[in-house]
Structure 1
């Protein structure tokens, strides 16, 4: 009940920033007591919201902090499923394990786990992902695609396209995809995607799509070993961004691409991916489970494998680290 009142209260305040709204009116619209309204006003103030109160006039929102809590995110959503159910925590070791637990308990497709801080964020192959508090987007989305297990890696490529399109539109930055799961600006990484699949009898049971995005992270937050290879939207755009706005745009783009993928297959995603891939035409070096492979990146095949040209031969690479 309190979370519902809190979400609706904040929505009211956000829609009336130019005027006061009385406690009586809030109480009537939210169908709760004046005491419940006052309690939630105090809770919001503790979270950093500046709410002006005047006798006989009521309340007015003066300042809102940059948070990714449901009450901040939901007013911006235009999706049908993605993000409509949210599990939010101030801090988590990582959003991925909690998403797996929730998925096993039957969470519906589109359920979202999101946090202000990850203390043990991780990327592909168990690498550490540095996730300072209140500065990035650290979230995991639960999907239940009716596809064979062999096609599950295509969802990482779909996610990279969706994130690139949404963030380019919102920031105007020249974002490029690096196969298989990174987004770059220039040669520096600001976003990583981690897709983990569980299935049985060659069918996908569920997918946890994890995303870590450096949004308002300044260079001072990073350890020395990351300063030459990492960046953020704020550093590149020379401005800060409201994370709730970015998340809403990302979820909308992902849902549209995902629904299209289920209807029309991987080919439209493959074409879009090649449009945004900054590595095509370049000589790349890969370290595969079978050893190093070098060649010119020329595109993706129908399964999502990276195609490398070596002389007259084109070799598909299915899983590897690459450098170029």
Structure 2
């Protein structure tokens, strides 16, 4: 109901819309309309009302509840089912639980604040309430477990395309899943799966995106490493529109991938990859490899040629781009 009410108010954002018109379109009483308006105000929307004129929306909230995302969503199935939490420990944990219980593909778990989020290699990812996007997407692709790393790369492409669509900013990708602006991180992506040795039951893709944080919102030790879309643009970004844009990009890329394979996704990924076509340090749990990053395989494995000409297949590592002298 609130989604329909929001759509009506936004369609008439330049003027008032009468309570009678709203009640007819919603199929409810004028009293019910007033109650729904009050609920929107509690969510942070500024709604003006005037006798014999009706209601008009003055200011939108920057929320990410299901009705706020759905008014912008243009997908057929990705994101059409949403679990929203104002504060939660980890969207990944909830998404895993829902997947085990049989939740359909395309369902997303969204949190306004995430207190115990997880990144790659067991690192933490804290998401301050009201400033960021924390979401986990449930997929059920018919893939082998060896192919699932490709979905991490696909997700990175979807994120940078969604960010470009909403903000105009061109982002870069550092293998395998960090999205950067001017060398500073704004996005982390974590892909996990539930599988048997030869069969994938589900894939959970977690996306954490710094949207409206200011510099002081970051701990001093990461201020030089992280940034947000608001810092880079000088504007507040509407998170619900950004979520919808990312999900829209993800759906068509995912459909293309399932139908035609990884080649197009690979090309789009490499076009934005700062860690390809340059010299890097790849820090694995066992060693540090210095060499030239040639590109990625169809499995998403990074190929690095060292100074002796040996080509290393990098499956998991921290990547540092070598400074040019």
In the superposition, the TM-score normalised over structure 2's length comes to 0.94
The residue that corresponds to 2:129 in the other structure is: 133
Tell me by how many angstroms 1:79 deviates. Answer: 0.8
The residue that corresponds to 2:206 in the other structure is: 210
Partners of 2:148 and 2:110 in 1: CA distance? 22
Where do 5+ consecutive residues of structure 2 fail to align?
Answer: none
Tell me by how many angstroms 1:238 deviates. Answer: 2.2
Structure 1 vs Structure 2 CA RMSD: 1.4
Cα deviation 1:119-162 (Å, max 9, x = unaligned): 22221122111311111111111111100011111110111111
Query: Among 41, 47, 51, which residue is 2:43 paired with?
Result: 47
The residue that corresponds to 2:218 in the other structure is: 222
In the superposition, the TM-score normalised over structure 1's length comes to 0.95
The residue that corresponds to 2:261 in the other structure is: 265
Distance verdict in 2 for CA 1:6–1:170, change over 3 Å: closer
Query: How many residues end up aligned between the 2 structures?
Result: 320
The residue that corresponds to 2:239 in the other structure is: 243
Cα deviation 1:62-108 (Å, max 9, x = unaligned): 11111111222111111111111111111111111111111122211
| 1:11–1:71 Cα contact (<8 Å) kept | no
Partners of 1:15 and 1:174 in 2: CA distance? 30
Query: Among 70, 73, 84, which residue is 1:74 paired with?
Result: 70
The reply to whether residue 6 of structure 1 matches residue 15 of structure 2 is no
Secondary structure of the 1:217 match is: coil
Q: 4+ residue stretches of structure 1 with deviation over 4 A?
A: none
Tell me by how many angstroms 1:171 deviates. Answer: 2.1
Where do 5+ consecutive residues of structure 1 fail to align?
Answer: none
The reply to whether residue 278 of structure 1 matches residue 261 of structure 2 is no
Partners of 1:139 and 1:234 in 2: CA distance? 19
| 1:214–1:231 Cα contact (<8 Å) kept | yes
Query: Among 57, 61, 82, which residue is 1:61 paired with?
Result: 57
Partners of 1:194 and 1:90 in 2: CA distance? 21
The residue that corresponds to 1:314 in the other structure is: 311
Partners of 2:40 and 2:86 in 1: CA distance? 14
Tell me by how many angstroms 1:233 deviates. Answer: 1.1
Deviates more, 1:66-75 or 1:300-309: 66-75
The residue that corresponds to 1:157 in the other structure is: 153
Secondary structure of the 1:77 match is: coil
Tell me by how many angstroms 1:201 deviates. Answer: 4.4
The reply to whether residue 299 of structure 1 matches residue 291 of structure 2 is no
Secondary structure of the 1:76 match is: coil
Secondary structure of the 1:249 match is: helix
Cα deviation 1:264-322 (Å, max 9, x = unaligned): 11121111111110122322112224322221111001211001011322211111122
Within 5 Å, give how 1:167-178 maps onto structure 2: 167-178=163-174
Partners of 1:50 and 1:309 in 2: CA distance? 58
Partners of 2:144 and 2:295 in 1: CA distance? 23
The reply to whether residue 186 of structure 1 matches residue 193 of structure 2 is no
Cα deviation 1:234-266 (Å, max 9, x = unaligned): 112222211122111111111111111101111
The reply to whether residue 37 of structure 1 matches residue 33 of structure 2 is yes
Partners of 1:302 and 1:43 in 2: CA distance? 49
Deviates more, 1:53-62 or 1:288-297: 288-297
